[in-house]
Structure formats: structure tokens, C-alpha cells
Amino acid sequence: MTVLELDNVTGGYGETEILHGISLKVDPGEIVVIIGPNGAGKSTAMKSVFGLLNLHGGRVMLDDEDITNTPPEKVVRKGVCYVPQTGNIFPNLSVHENLEMGAYVRRDDFSGRLDDIYQIFPPLVEKRNQPAGTLSGGQRQMVAMGKALMLEPKILLLDEPSAGLSPKYRGEIFKVVRDINEAGTPILMVEQNAKQALGIADRGYILVDGQNRLDDTGKKLLANKEVAEMFLGGGSVPAKKTAARKTKPKARAKARGKSKQ
């Protein structure tokens, strides 16, 4: 059974249409990544799941239940947790208080879940009583993800989790994303860091101008020449083409030498 599916979704903000028939799905146990240029509709697609924009067409399905245009608070109660790129923590509350806030809809004893979160994010243990706003960017992102995981969601939505982080913390965040997934939580993630994101993804979707452009496994998208040229700095262009470009100046010099003779 598919955990989450967007089926031919069209919508945007007010009268402005951003998505033009987007389709994607997340199956149990998967990490699915959405990448694309700025303005492609990546974050908008994610917000469509969370009821944060008006959908004019298509459907959003969660475990075969139609949740199209369902208010965010009800989407949370159905098991979808969303970590936005910014404004995702309470900066004046301690780390521990932030995690407790993540369990606001729970009515059971969640102390055991708090212990789980500290095991997933060991750097937060010694910071538990520190105001979350005083942490480094990477640690704040850990608090945001930990807060969302307090509800033990059916699926976790991450919007640009590595944005603005140092290379060290970027690597740690991607490792944590993989660990969360391996513990049983499916993940839908929007990322600008295409290479690292596709490196841990089971599947990926490329959006351009609010439409599906490509979709495939993470490995195949990494090896795709078009994807490389658009998002990876041309990293997968065959080496022989690079070699050919390097030999051209020598060839021209040789030709000039022959002409002088």
C-alpha cells in the first residue's frame, strides 16, 4: 500500500497557480526526494500535502484516504509531520521543551519517546536545558526533526533540511535522515543539495515549472546526464568528452605549426 500519493495535483496561492498536474508517491520504507530549480514548485508540492494551499484539481491520498485540502491540524492527527525550512523551532524554549511541544496532540505517556529522540540525536542530550535558539544551525535542525518525530508519524516531510548548514552538519543531517528512515519512517524530502539527497534516496522526482520532468531511482537520476547538467554541475559528463576538450588547444597548435612549414 502506498503511504502518500499526489495524483495530478493542480493548485497554488490564491489565484496564482504553481502546480500544474504534479504526481508522485511514497511507498513504505522509502526516502523520496524532490529536486528542481528555484520556483519549480518543490516546497509548494509538499505544502499541498499539509493543507497549506488551495488545490484546484487532483487528489492527495494518505493510506488510500483522500486528504485533499484537509486542514493542517487534522493532517497532523492522521500521522503526517512536516518540518518547514525556517521557523521550525521555538527559539526561547529549551530543547527539551521543544520536544515536549512536538507531542502536543498526544494524551499518553510519551517519556519513552523522548528517550528515543535523544538516542537518535545524541548532540541534543547535553543541550537539553539550553534555549533552542542558541544552538548551531545543524542542532536546531535536529530539534525540529526530533519535535516532528515525537508523534511517531506515518510519514515525515522535510523541506530543505540541509539549507544554510556547514558541510559538517550537512553530512550529519543526511545521515540522521537515513537513520530515521531505517528505523521505519518513510520520508518525503525537498532538497537543493541534489547530489547528497539523491545519494540516500530510493527514488527522486525532478520538478520544473510546476510539472513533473523526470522520475527514477536515486542512483539512476545521479547518473542521468540531464540531471547532472542541471543540478550537479555536470558531474556525470563522460570523461572522454573532458579529455577531448583538453586536447583541442594542442591540436590547434600542431595545425599552426604545419601551416608555418
For domain 4-92+152-223, give the CATH number.
Answer: 3.40.50.300
142, 176 Cβ separation under 8 angstroms: yes
Place of cell 542541471: 230
CA distance 12 to 31: 25
34, 6 Cβ separation under 8 angstroms: no
What residue segments make up the domains of the chain, in order of their start? 4-92+152-223
CB atoms within 10 A of CB 17: 15
Residues whose CB falls within 8 Å of the CB of residue 195, separated by 6 or more in sequence, listed in order: 222, 231, 232, 235
Q: What is the pTM of this model?
A: 0.86
154, 63 Cβ separation under 8 angstroms: yes
- pLDDT, one tens digit per residue, over 179-234 is 999 999 999 999 999 999 999 999 999 999 999 999 999 999 999 998 988 887 64
- pLDDT, one tens digit per residue, over 153-194 is 999 999 999 998 888 889 999 999 999 999 999 999 999 999
180, 210 Cβ separation under 8 angstroms: no
